[in-house]
Structure 1
Amino acid sequence: MLNWLKNKKHPEFWTNYLNEYENAKHRYVIISVESSGTNPYKDVMLSIGAVGIEKNELCIKDSFEIVFLQYIFNHDNGFSNEFIIESKMPKFIESEGIQRLIKYLKNATIIGHRVDIAIEMINVALEKLDCGKLKNQALDLEIMFRKWKEYSDDKRFSIEEIAHALKIPHENSDLSIEKAYTMGLSFLKLKKYLDIH
């Protein structure tokens, strides 16, 4: 009776993503999702920046950056579209941007600051495209930092505080790619301190 669930036809990009898990290549991707808030059903993604890590080094040529065209959300909430119009970054509607992100991510381990929020936002966008949830493993920088410093789980740290504690130079920026770069440097230090291979 439930055979139609097993034989559900997924979009080609999603089938290709699922097939990536047959490959053993291991890769880390640092991801920064800028959104209008943290509720994946009421808020929207505004931009995504990501950078890959290979052989314990940030690989700038393996980077990803997009701005989502969210004209309806911005209009309905009285926000300006000025930054979207003036931005030189590639701009896509959400469905196309998510497809590009999935093609970029492949089977990488996702690294982020409070990464569960970013993953949930992406999963909600995938749900709209009749896809499943991300299958990627994930590591959270805030959890790694607390573990390294032996802080309790209720202590919260911004990415700026983590970078400062790790003596990583950074500027406060709203650009998701710059945040991803700062997170990448933080991850590499924490990975070393926590002896993660």
Structure 2
Amino acid sequence: MLDWLKNINKEHPEFWKKYLSKFDKKPSRYIALSVDTTGLNPKKDVILSLGSIGIEKDTIHIGDVFEVTIPQYKFLHDNNLSNDFLLESEQPKLSEVQAIEKLIDFIGNATLVGHRINFDVEMINEALEKLSCGRLKNEALDIEVMYKKLHDINDKNFSLDELSHIFKISKTERISTTDDAYTIALLFLKLKSRLGL
């Protein structure tokens, strides 16, 4: 209830101070974001991988990418889960602390775009809390919400695959969070155009 009290006289890490300083300007960039986790409970589950791609001036910038696998060996071991996929992943591997610091630097003040983005943001916020930081300040747009608004739908949910099918985005083998982020970026640009944003 009084979360702001926790932040009084609290010394934040340097990367967080740098991040906060970027909100003096209006964002000119969108970041399509995908987060892979061990489950759907932000309080108990952890992030396994992050994938994101930049969008500026209605163009997806293939070179503007952040992707990382976070080897959560302790969590997986404690919960009797296999870590084989971590060993097979070709994405760079960083500790959770390193990954979150680099992600925060990458996203800056950009508007975040995702599929059910509130969950992704909450997972990142939980990781930030462990680092004695505040919560993300970025605005966020959800492609599922955008689609429902476009068609005035309230009583149905749409998976990323369903949205891709509706917009005739060829189904590639999405094997990483970056692949999902790219699909999200494509859907976002189509929806943005149709909604006249």
1:37 to 36, 39, 44: 39
**1:148 paired to 2:150:** yes
Q: Which amino acid aligns with 1:8?
A: K
**Which runs of 4 or more aligned residues in structure 1 lie more than 6 Å from their structure 2 counterparts after TM superposition?**
none
Retained in 2: the 8 A contact 1:30–1:51? yes
**1:102 paired to 2:104:** yes
Retained in 2: the 8 A contact 1:49–1:66? yes
Distance verdict in 2 for CA 1:10–1:84, change over 3 Å: same
Query: Superposition pairs for residues 2-41 of structure 1, below 5 Å?
Result: 5-41=7-43
- Identify the residue that residue 180 of structure 1 maps to in structure 2: 181
- 3-state SS of 1:61 partner: strand
Q: Describe the superposition over 1:90-132 as per-residue Cα deviations: whole angstroms up to 9, x where unpaired.
A: 1111111101100000000000000000000000000000000
Structure 2 alignment gaps of length 5 or more: none
Retained in 2: the 8 A contact 1:160–1:172? no
Displacement of 1:21 in angstroms is 0.7
Q: C-alpha distance in 1, partners of 2:183/2:40?
A: 21
Alpha-carbon RMSD: 1.6
Q: C-alpha distance in 2, partners of 1:25/1:41?
A: 30
Q: Which amino acid aligns with 1:194?
A: L
Query: Superposition pairs for residues 107-186 of structure 1, below 5 Å?
Result: 107-152=109-154, 154-186=155-187
Identity of aligned residues (%): 47
Distance verdict in 2 for CA 1:147–1:24, change over 3 Å: closer
Q: Which amino acid aligns with 1:132?
A: G
Structure 1 alignment gaps of length 5 or more: none
User: TM-score, normalised on structure 2?
Assistant: 0.94
2:89 to 72, 87, 90: 87
User: TM-score, normalised on structure 1?
Assistant: 0.94
Distance verdict in 2 for CA 1:5–1:56, change over 3 Å: closer
